[in-house]
Amino acid sequence: MTPKKEHHNTTFTCQAQNTADRTYRSAKLRLEVKYAPKVTLRIVSGLGLTGRLTEGAEVRLACKADANPLDLTYRWYINDELVPGDYTTELIIPNITRKYHDAIVKCEVHNPVGKSEESETLDISCKWHYRHCRTRIVRSLITQVRSTVSSELSLHAIRHIFTNISDKPAASTYLKDGGSRSLRNIDK
C-alpha cells in the first residue's frame, strides 16, 4: 500500500489466526501521513454585482491550505513580486486601482514536506464617474466605433460620447455622417 493524504488518521486493523490457536489475534494501527500543502485561493470581498472587482474597493483574498504537518509559511506575490508584510491566510489590498487590472496574485504555502501555490488574475472594473477612467472608456468607444464604421470620429463625436456616458454598459453616439450606433459592453 502506498500511503496518500486520504489515509491520514485512518485506523487499519491486522487480524491473524493460526491452526494451533483458533482465536483471532488483531492489532490496530493509526496511520499518520505527512503531505505538502494543497492550496485554494479565492476573492472574498471587493467584487461588484458584475462579478468584477470595482476600482476603489477594498479587496480581500483568502488562501486556504490543507497540509500535514500544519507548520505552514505563507507568501503572497503580485505579478511575481513578493508582497511585503506579515500576511498569512488573507491578503488585503485597500482602495484597489486599475494598475492591478490583469495582475496575477499568487499565494504560496510551505511546510516541512513541500510547497504548493494557487493564483488568481484580478479583473478591475473602472467606475464611470472616476475622472482617470474616462480616457480608457473613450478609447474603448473609439476603437469599437472605428471597427464598425469606416470613417474616423470627429472631435465633436468624441465629446458627444464623453458627455453621454452613463452607468449603463451601453452608449449612443452620433457619427460624423449624422447616423447613430449603439455600443455594447464598453467597459472591457
Q: Is residue 153 predicted with pLDDT exceeding 70?
A: no
* Helix, coil or strand: residue 36: strand
Summarised one tens digit per residue, pLDDT across range 158-170 is 555 555 544 333 3
Asked whether 184 and 169 are in contact (CB, 8 A), the reply is yes
pLDDT computed for residue 51 by the predictor:
81
Q: Which amino acid is at 59?
A: V
Buried-exposed string 37-60: b where 16+ CB fall within 10 A, e elsewhere: bebebebeebeeeeebbbbebebe
Which one, of 171, 93, 172, 167, lies nearest residue 130 by Cα?
167
Summarised one tens digit per residue, pLDDT across range 29-74 is 888 889 999 999 999 998 887 888 988 899 999 999 999 999 999 9
Architecture of the structural domain at 35-125? Sandwich (2.60)
Q: Is the pTM of this model over 0.75?
A: no
- Domain parsing of the chain, residue ranges: 1-33, 35-125, 131-184
